[in-house]
Structure 1
């Protein structure tokens, strides 16, 4: 070949011909392929005689003229890369030419290729093109490569059916004019000057994007391709974005459909970590929040709280009203605590937002600065916290203790996130969902308050569907659901449900009578008892009129439930009894056994309480039984034991029947009526006990602990009855905690 000074001869051609087959017309057999690599060819004009060629490969030569291709009407593939060609397509177009590779040549201007209707693959890498043009009518062009040219702007590609586009190593600064490339699947824009991903958002079929070595610096730019759900590979190596904190997890979170990032496979662990870091499920956030508060609480001095009950099986009773923002849950909570102040006390949460018109500090919320709020977190003062619309909300331990100290159940209101957090604590509230069923009414209510922007209103309205979905997909997550489109009717329904489970009956005019506890002892015991608000009965509406209006958000006169500081006779007896035990300890006497049995036998609440509460060993103090079933007093019982009951003002539950010598064959004694007649002589009785060497808690000699017999009643397998709230702990003159 060298002796001909780079001129291709027939002898040379015969050496490189291959693939004998039929010609395009099918009338004769011809050689279809010619491939001459790296032979320093300069003149290939001899190929004008080889008109039947279908594939011509002449790479790595010194060819400048390809006019011979004009004589090859059946040519399909042309490879003339790594030559010295300067004339762009300097030949007449073969009608079936499908693939052309003219990379590594010296072409600088693209001409019109509208006559190349069959052209599907065009490679023009490493030339001197500065502009893309002439391709508008290439209706079959699916692969185009113009890598390492001098192109500074993407243009001339309108409506092309491109699937693979490579513009690597150019001078492009912005992604533009690509909205019409709807079939594009693979895009290579590496080694350019691109600083933003804007311009890719409409390329719905993209599966691979290479942006290596550009100037992308913001993670938020990934949001432009967040809706490209077929995108699987993304390369952002050697971009300033790599210096961002947690860059990889942030991109994986924004583009959760990716499988390869920066040429490294994305693991399932990385995807889970990204979601937990940037958009944790409510359960994960709640668990993390609970862990944080528990750690901070354990760092503080440990004390026994008023809400602590004698057993883990008897949690402190609470009621939580939940629902979307401004659905009326706060007004209903205030109204409920105002009307049923013998059972409920309002628990005000802390918040970092400012007060709305009519809200009072300490009555509706405790309004604090963010610095004070964070300090309270570090001091372990919160049970749970959450952030909503940029503001912090938190339920403090003091809010619960203020209610527990009064012997009342704490009534709260909170958003869904707060409910999920409360379910991680050891408190076991009953949750009532107040749900708007008319979104237009709900949106109008939000607008009428003139406190929220339109985006905030849209978010609040959309959260109605979130509450509905949680209630549908997680049965039992809420104990009851009440429509709140009409707050008057919602309150009637809420009150109806609560009164039924508190053993109360409504009279005309909204007043109630106590059917579960006799009138002459109801005052002393209602402060100590909160029957479990199971809230699983069918929701019905009250027929009675709603006589007192519900306090609105702008009403400054919220009435908080307050109890009299005057002690009842039961509480005074309990205090005297405690003082007696202290005196005995000081003179060296060992304390007697605590009269309440430690082993409780779980019982369940009936689906609806009867007109009078039946005997139930789950109560720490038995209710007054019906007159027809009144237990008989056993005169054989020791006087010391009688005095013990008299001093405390309480009778022993049926499970304590083992302490009596007259236990029946089943081991259960009759439950005695509450004896209030002895309360007036409680101090004298205590003195007699000290003189006789007996303590009020000392058991009768020879008594044995026997298993109680649980009374069977309808609905006993529904929900456990919560025990009474321990009372009588606060000393006279004590003030509520702040």
Structure 2
């Protein structure tokens, strides 16, 4: 029995080898290669559904006409030329006839369920109408000799089409197909066309062609992968055509001339922020951040870079100490900054404000590289310089802040602020938003007021009426309104006040009112009226009512200033401290302790608060210094003026809240200073008055300083001319504020080299 079985097996092998040599498929070969047994008809009969005969050197497969129940037929790597047998397979679903010698495209009757067909690596030269193959979903025609796409218009279920390595020179015949994957690799395409209607396309392979532009892909919003390897794309700007394809994750531009462009990878990553893979390499988070910082950096980043540049160049120069604007933890130099979109009137308002409050403000003149507009004067509106001179000033460390806007450079120099400070005035400047970000990086803590148009059409008409701007500049200025609005909305406390600038006169009146509140000028007038009433019961005034600080007026969450000894005061500022500044450095804690000590001393009448000393009238200071020994100081005028001037010196609202300090109302002190407890005026040495006690208070000294104490730098009003000053006393004045507020010690406000 065993011998008989061996003989049959050998006979079968001989038959197969003989059939291979002749290229004829036999029943024995079929029976040995079929698989996937299943039922058919009523379910009581069985048949094999899959047949796979790869690399069998077959050329005649006519025997398959009898296998009508086949569903999957795989005959790759043979020599088949005729596929007529497929016409007898009505249930066929998958047909793989790749790597054969087929020249007759779909030379068989259409099986009604045929879905996937692979005709790659054959000899097809022309397509035929496939409208009868309504179920076809996947068609592979790679490596043939096709020169035109034809006959696919009615394949309403075709999702995958591959025509790689043919001779196609133009994309056509794909209109309205539901394609999700399209491969046209290795053809002769020069343009991307005919794809506009493929709204479902997700994967596109156009590699190894002659394409020079990405135009034609901009409307394919479902694209997730594009392969353009080995084409002729040479410009990075071509990526703008696919900038709005937000689902695009993979892009391959290897082998294109564009890769030779400097900064190619970061530029493409910047233009296509949604990419995760570029040139078959993963796009990292660091690359995305670097690309944004290089090509469109946020205003914070630009400001930080500019600040580093100015600081480094400043340190490279011979050091000059500017006493008048020397920063202090307790009393920063007061500045007022007007900001807003181009042409909103901030420059005109700054000039009017300096004229209206000439005893408090002076205009800080910036430098710019643009040419003067009609009516502008050099040295008054701007210092107009060349680009070369501007760069030289940067390298000399002269600027506090710079910015670039509209293709021109603008900058505020340290000398411009110092020139105003030497006059005993606060500096008022105007700038764009970029300049505000830059200035916030410096040691200065100005008040920032935003002037913003609320009526866009009126704003555009104003810009057009000036006849200074092109339409593109007007459109840019209008678009920046939203930038200012978003900054104010997303960064609470960034601006101290916001004023609509639609009407210039109304804007100035609002600005004037805000400045009066900053300077406490109205409260000063109210205080004079209240002092005129003996019982101090004038309308709107209660004895226990305290004046509102400028910070509380400019902050929407403001309330009446509370007595520092009251429990509500402590609870309120403890809450702010927990929200805004949960952790403080030792230097900040030491500064807070010093300020609290000054407040306690001021309340009991030992010395005036530090903020009340920031703005002192120079005339009053000189008068104190030159008084005869034993005379008493006038108690009304000097303190009122110091009250009126202390408000502007308060840091911006965010900084003031973080330091938990409000300007101290001098009205809490009473009408006159009291001598320290246990000591009377008679006990003081001859020639010593109460102002001398204040000046010699050790709490006013800087930490670690052995020199004479220095009061906060800038007085309120202009210096009194020398002719109107009292005759100087032969006694040297111990007042440390004289270096900035008096005529005698004028040298203290000059620049001293280190």
| TM-score normalised to structure 1 length | 0.75
Q: Any conservation in 1 of the 2:230–2:254 contact (CA below 8 Å)? A: yes
1:614 aligns with 2:667: yes
Candidates 51, 64, 80, aligned match of 2:68: 51
Q: How does 1:222-237 map to 2 (within 5 A)?
A: 222-237=239-254
Shift of 1:636: 2.5
3-state SS, counterpart of residue 127 of structure 1 = coil
Superposition deviation, residue 143 in structure 1: 0.1
Aligned to 1:685: 731
**1:179–1:200 CA contact under 8 A, matched in 2:** yes
Question: Does the alignment pair 1:410 with 2:427?
Answer: yes
Q: Is the 8 A contact 2:223 2:247 kept in 1?
A: yes
Aligned-partner SS, 2:667: coil
**Alignment deviations for residues 115-155 of structure 1 (CA, whole Å, 9 cap, x no partner):** 11000000000000111111011001000000111111111
- Over 3 Å counting, the alpha-carbon distance change for 1:18 and 1:412 in structure 2 is same
1:460 alignment partner in structure 2: 477
Describe the shift of the 1:79–1:232 C-alpha distance in structure 2 as closer, same or farther (beyond 3 A): same
Residue segments in structure 1 that go unaligned for 5+ positions in a row: 519-530, 540-566, 577-600, 617-624, 660-675, 687-695, 700-721
**Mapping of residues 123-522 of structure 1, within 5 Å:** 123-309=140-326, 311-505=328-522
- Return the offset for 1:655: 7.8
CA offsets 1:692-712 (integer angstroms, 9 cap, x no match) = xxxx5499xxxxxxxxxxxxx
C-alpha displacement of 1:730: 5.3
Aligned equivalents of 1:62, 1:658: Cα separation in 2 = 103
2:31 corresponds in structure 1 to 14
- Residues in 1 aligned to 2:185 and 2:663: alpha-carbon distance in whole angstroms: 75
Contact 2:199 2:220 in 1 (8 A): yes
- Which residue matches 2:86? 69
- Residue 552 of structure 1: aligned partner: none
Q: Structure 1 residues 386, 463: CA separation in 2 closer, same or farther (over 3 Å shift)?
A: same
Partner of 1:559: none
Contact 1:117 1:140 in 2 (8 A): yes
Aligned in 2, Cα 1:679/1:336: closer, same or farther, shift over 3 Å? closer
Change (3 A) 1:362 1:49: same
Deviations 1:368-411 (A, max 9, x none): 11111111111111111111121111111111111011111100
CA 1:36 to 1:258, structure 2 compared with 1: closer, same or farther past 3 Å? same
- Of stretches 473-482 and 498-507 in structure 1, the one that deviates more from structure 2 is 498-507
The answer to whether the 8 A contact 2:549-2:663 is kept is no
Take 1:201 and 1:435, find their aligned partners in 2: how far apart are those partners? 36
What is the CA deviation profile of residues 501-525 of structure 1, one whole-angstrom value per residue up to 9, with x for unaligned ones? 3232399xxxx99959x9xxxxxxx
Task: Identify the match of residue 626 of structure 1 among 635, 657, 671.
Answer: 671
Q: Report SS of the residue matched to 2:400.
A: strand
**8 A contact 2:403–2:435 mirrored in 1:** yes
Q: Which secondary structure does the structure 2 equivalent of 1:635 belong to?
A: helix
Residues 727 and 411 (structure 1), Cα distance of their counterparts in 2 relative to 1, 3 Å cut: farther
Structure 1 residues 658, 239: CA separation in 2 closer, same or farther (over 3 Å shift)? closer
Which aligned pairs between 1:73-92 and structure 2 lie closer than 5 A? 73-92=90-109
Please tell me the root mean square deviation across aligned C-alpha atoms, in Å.
Answer: 3.5
> Aligned-pair distance for 1:475?
1.2
Kept after mapping to 1: 8 A contact 2:222/2:245: yes
Look up the match of 2:602. Answer: none
1:636 maps to what in 2? 683
Output the CA distance in 2 between the equivalents of 1:331 and 1:447. 17
Shift of the alpha carbon at 1:654? 8.2
Q: Which moved more, 1:438-447 or 1:207-216?
A: 438-447
User: Per the alignment, in what secondary structure is the counterpart of residue 639 of structure 1?
Assistant: coil
Q: Deviations over 1:60-90 (max 9, x none)?
A: 0011111111111111110000001111111
Confirm or deny: 8 A CA contact 1:430 1:534 kept in the other structure.
no
> Cα deviation per residue 1:441-465 (whole Å; 9 max; x = unaligned)?
2122112212222232222222222
**CA spacing shift, 1:463–1:633, aligned 2, 3 Å:** farther
Give the corresponding residue for 2:635.
Answer: none
Residues 205 and 227 of structure 2 are in contact (CA less than 8 Å); yes or no, is this contact kept in structure 1? yes
Deviations 1:213-259 (A, max 9, x none): 11111111111111111111111111111111121111111111111
TM-score (norm 2): 0.74
Distance 2:214 2:699 in 1: 80
User: Which runs of 4 or more aligned residues in structure 1 lie more than 6 Å from their structure 2 counterparts after TM superposition?
Assistant: 572-576, 627-633, 722-725
Measured in 1, the distance between the counterparts of 2:128 and 2:455 equals 64
What's the CA shift for 1:574?
A: 7.6
Instruction: Write 1 or 2 for the structure with the bigger share of helix.
Output: 2
2:252–2:278 Cα contact (<8 Å) kept: yes
Aligned mates of 2:346, 2:552 — CA distance in 1:
16
1:55/1:24 CA distance change after superposition, 3 Å: farther
Verify the 8 A CA contact 1:570 1:679 in the aligned structure 2: no
CA, structure 1 residues 155+11, in 2 after alignment: closer, same or farther (shift >3 Å)? same
| Change over 3 Å in CA distance of 1:679–1:127 after alignment to 2 | closer
What's the offset of the Cα at 1:275?
A: 1.3
Q: Which moved more, 1:305-314 or 1:187-196?
A: 305-314
